[in-house]
Chain A
Amino acid sequence: MTTTLLIVLFALVVVLAVLVVGLLRAYADVLRRLHALDGGSPGQGADRLPVGAPEFRMSAGVQDLPDPSRRAAATGSAAATKDVTGREAEWPPAHDLAGQTLGGEVVTVRAVGVEHDTVLVFLSSGCTGCASFWRDLARSGRSGVEALTGGLGSARLVVVTKGPDQESELLLADLCPPGIDLVMSTQAWDDYGVPGSPYVLVVNGRSGRVAGEGSGTSLTQVSGLIRQSVGDGGALGVGLASQAVRKPRSDTDREVDVDRALLAAGIGPGHPSLYGGDTTGPAADRTADQPGPRR
């Protein structure tokens, strides 16, 4: 009798446990759906991604092309690489950029067949999700851009917007801090098949292939994901910083002092005394860093 009672009680406990687990799972599903309806995304750390845009992810490694002559021709067939989850993934070939800057400068930016990596940040002036990216850029300034490239050995960061026919140059001029490399190129959006903004692509310069892409909530968040993927060693490419020759701050100070002394003496740009008294020489039609004709 006692044994029968125990068996019945045990069965009752099991049934109740199954019911409780089922209720909890249903409750969690309801919460997830409510979160999604509230503008969220099921992904970790991705609160407001553009519709249809995948979360940012990096490849585990993109094979370099051993022959440098092949690097420039790396836009051939797609190569199979593994993503961070270890799955085989097709990382597409990258493209160089051609467009113009906010100042009307006509530019070609190389991302393929070069030693450095490039982080392309596709933004627009109107999208709400881009606001945090613009804020990160403004906060970091030019000197902090390296920090936003996720430790890719001081990879180059380029902001890409659509061309002047589809973007407001005035709004972009307000949003983009000075010194940030911004290229307006609708062609680049088409080349990379960008689904919406904000969207970030990491291009491995040596292989000429995309090494990571997706959207995120901010540049800081995406750079964190890049950093997690490649580690702090800048494994994807050779950095630019190691090759740079730093201009001493004292040089700039000295130039300012010289300018001040000359202007105080009434000698400004184009003053005849700067040309040995020859006022017919090259006029003062260049900016302040010109070395001037050597004589």
Chain B
Amino acid sequence: MTAPMSPPAVTPLSGYGLGVQLPAGWEGRISRRPVPTTSFTPQTRADTGPGNAGADGWLGEQMLPVLHAANFPLPAVRGDYGSSAVERMGRQHIFIGLLEFGAECLGSALYAPLGVPRVSLADFHPNALQRRLPGQSGCQMFFTAADRPCCLYVVIGSWTPPATVAALIEQVNAVLSGIEVAAR
């Protein structure tokens, strides 16, 4: 065994032009799906089953980086917006997804905000979830950083009580402050 060293306060993770400083207890994954060789069909979706949804994509699909960070174990197979991961969340858990969109979105009003945003209690609502799950609440924001249009999607495991939510949001913003988007 190698001699143990004092663990760093944060663990850096970077790839595909995205980076994040992960606090203790948080883990992350940065990926870019391979260009699909087959088109998405209901049958291929059915064959992949739950947890593999969207694994194939469709011909001509533009593949862009996706960053996932969470304070619970991220499964190996996840949807871009956390399907197959958010189902595993407990009340104290948080899922953060940052997805880059195509250059055609640059300059559009939706992506006008500059820089990685911060979130507040007012941004969260169960209706903002991709799919509602008991107790969970979500938030989705669009922005541009380093001329790369991005979407931020956050899921927290509790929507009440306010003190719990505030603590979760504080953790979210701590992670968001450590996200870096490099210029292409």
Chain A interface (Cβ within 8 Å of chain B)? 72-73, 75-76, 92-93, 95-96, 98, 101, 103-110, 112-114, 116, 142, 156, 178-182, 190-193, 240, 243-247, 249, 251-252, 255-256, 259-260, 263, 268-269, 280, 282-291, 293-294
Known A-B contacts A98-B11, A180-B76; the reply to A252 vs B50 at CB < 8 A is yes
- Closest-by-CB residue of B relative to A97 is B27
CA distance in complex: A288, B22 (Å): 28
Distance (whole angstroms) from the CB of A26 to the closest CB of chain B: 40
Encode B62-95 as 1/0 by CB contact (under 8 A) with A.
Answer: 1110000000110111011101101111100100
Please determine whether A282 and B101 come into contact, CB atoms closer than 8 angstroms: yes
Please determine whether A256 and B2 come into contact, CB atoms closer than 8 angstroms: no
- Closest-by-CB residue of B relative to A94 is B4
Chain B residues within 8 Å of A180, by CB = 76
Please determine whether B99 and A286 come into contact, CB atoms closer than 8 angstroms: yes
Please determine whether A75 and B1 come into contact, CB atoms closer than 8 angstroms: no
Please determine whether A287 and B89 come into contact, CB atoms closer than 8 angstroms: no
Chain A residues within 8 Å of B55, by CB = 287
Name the contact of A243 in the complex, choosing from B26, B49, B90 (C-beta under 8 A).
B90
CA distance in complex: A117, B135 (Å): 25
In the assembled complex, B126 has its CB within 8 A of some CB on chain A: no
In the assembled complex, B5 has its CB within 8 A of some CB on chain A: yes
Name the contact of A245 in the complex, choosing from B46, B80, B133 (C-beta under 8 A).
B133
Please determine whether A101 and B76 come into contact, CB atoms closer than 8 angstroms: yes
Known A-B contacts A108-B27, A114-B25; the reply to A191 vs B2 at CB < 8 A is yes
CA distance in complex: A82, B83 (Å): 41
Secondary structure class of chain B's binding surface, majority of residues: loop
A76, A181, A288: residue with the most chain B Cβ atoms closer than 10 Å: A288
Chain B residues within 8 Å of A282, by CB = 101-102, 105, 110
Please determine whether A247 and B50 come into contact, CB atoms closer than 8 angstroms: yes
Secondary structure class of chain A's binding surface, majority of residues: loop
CA distance in complex: A76, B128 (Å): 43
A95, A284, A290: residue with the most chain B Cβ atoms closer than 10 Å: A290
Name the contact of A73 in the complex, choosing from B6, B27, B79 (C-beta under 8 A).
B6
Name the contact of B140 in the complex, choosing from A76, A142, A285, A291 (C-beta under 8 A).
A291
Distance (whole angstroms) from the CB of A256 to the closest CB of chain B: 5
CA distance in complex: A95, B6 (Å): 11
CA distance in complex: A72, B99 (Å): 29
Name the contact of B52 in the complex, choosing from A92, A105, A113, A178 (C-beta under 8 A).
A178
Chain A residues within 8 Å of B145, by CB = none
Please determine whether A110 and B2 come into contact, CB atoms closer than 8 angstroms: no
Please determine whether A103 and B2 come into contact, CB atoms closer than 8 angstroms: no
Chain A residues within 8 Å of B28, by CB = 107-108
Name the contact of A110 in the complex, choosing from B27, B46, B62, B151 (C-beta under 8 A).
B27
Chain B residues within 8 Å of A269, by CB = 40, 58, 61
Chain B residues within 8 Å of A190, by CB = 2
Chain A residues within 8 Å of B31, by CB = 101, 103-106
Chain B residues within 8 Å of A142, by CB = 51, 77
CA distance in complex: A182, B29 (Å): 13
Encode B121-163 as 1/0 by CB contact (under 8 A) with A.
Answer: 0000000111101100000101000000001010000000000
Name the contact of A256 in the complex, choosing from B1, B13, B45, B73 (C-beta under 8 A).
B45
Please determine whether B22 and A108 come into contact, CB atoms closer than 8 angstroms: yes
Please determine whether A256 and B11 come into contact, CB atoms closer than 8 angstroms: no
CA distance in complex: A98, B11 (Å): 10
Chain A residues within 8 Å of B119, by CB = none
Please determine whether B77 and A178 come into contact, CB atoms closer than 8 angstroms: yes
